[in-house]
Amino acid sequence: MRWLIIYLLLIAVIWLFITNRVWRRSLLAIATVVFGVFMLLFTFTQRDTAENVKTTDTFSEARKLETLTHGTLKPGDIAIAGTSFTNPDHTVFDSAGRERTELDLFKWQLRAIFTNRSTKFTVGSLTLRVTLYSCPVFYDVAQADVDPGKLEANCTVIGRRTVGFDPIRLKPADTYQGEHIVTFPNQPDPRNPRYWIEVQTVSATQDE
């Protein structure tokens, strides 16, 4: 608005103080062209500035959402209990064509109960790191008493996978019973197997 007022004042000055008609017309035409070009450039500049502000605001909102989703909960906020890691049954046929049921040693049924220890945030997803070990026959430590450091020292890793539970909705102090079928690429025959499960990542729901 102020640029229009300046333009009108300039036109008034030219009209009042320039008495020569040829000069007056020329100056009025030049002033009009310059004003038009200036306003065109000014409009594009304002549009670019508005788009940059909008982009910055959008990026800021995305960063806030990312921080809320991935920065509010830590693996330690999830407690794991009641875990089991067993081979499911499957059907096979012997050389005579007889059907029988036996354990599938290359497929594992993971079951676990997760508890959200956070008092503020709801869990939206989590991933586990599952490690499978093959241990010597003399290794007689019960699964419930295994220690990851001693497993690494006494046993051999024969499989490691990341298992995701997404989406879930686990409110503060609530529990969730999860199940997942796990397979390990190139897994050898498990001998006296043990396993270790730990929370790798955890995120909050976006609506919290």
Instruction: Give the mean pLDDT of the chain.
Output: 81
- Output DSSP code: residue 39: H
Distance, in Å, from the CA atom of 68 to the CA atom of 84, rounded to the nearest integer, reads: 32
Q: What is the mean pLDDT of residues 37-54?
A: 64
User: Structure pTM?
Assistant: 0.64
pLDDT tens readout for residues 128-170: 999 999 999 999 999 999 999 999 999 999 999 999 998 899 9
Distance, in Å, from the CA atom of 143 to the CA atom of 146, rounded to the nearest integer, reads: 5
Determine the distance from the C-alpha atom of residue 116 to the mean position of all C-alpha atoms in its chain, rounded to a whole number. Answer: 19
Whether the CB-CB separation of 129 and 202 falls below 8 Å is answered with no
Strands (E) across the chain are located at 78-86, 89-93, 99-103, 108-116, 123-134, 156-165, 175-182, 193-204
Q: What is the mean pLDDT of residues 21-43?
A: 69
CATH class for the domain made up of 75-204: mainly beta
Element of type H or E holding 196 = strand 193-204
Alpha carbon distances (Å) from 164 to 62, 129, 198, 202:
23, 9, 12, 10
Confidence bin at 52 (pLDDT 50/70/90) = low
The pair of structure tokens assigned to 162 is 């990341």
Distance, in Å, from the CA atom of 199 to the CA atom of 163, rounded to the nearest integer, reads: 10
Q: Which of 12-16, 20-24, 122-126, 204-208 is predicted most confidently?
A: 122-126
Q: What percent of the chain has a predicted confidence (pLDDT) above 90?
A: 53
Q: So where are the chain's domains?
A: 2-71, 75-204
The pair of structure tokens assigned to 9 is 């004042």
pLDDT of residue 158: 96
pLDDT tens readout for residues 71-95: 688 999 999 999 999 999 999 888 7
Q: What percent of the chain has a predicted confidence (pLDDT) above 70?
A: 69
Determine the distance from the C-alpha atom of residue 63 to the mean position of all C-alpha atoms in its chain, rounded to a whole number. Answer: 12
Query: Is the pLDDT reported for residue 53 higher than 90?
Result: no
Q: What is the mean pLDDT of residues 101-120?
A: 94
Query: Is the pLDDT reported for residue 182 higher than 80?
Result: yes
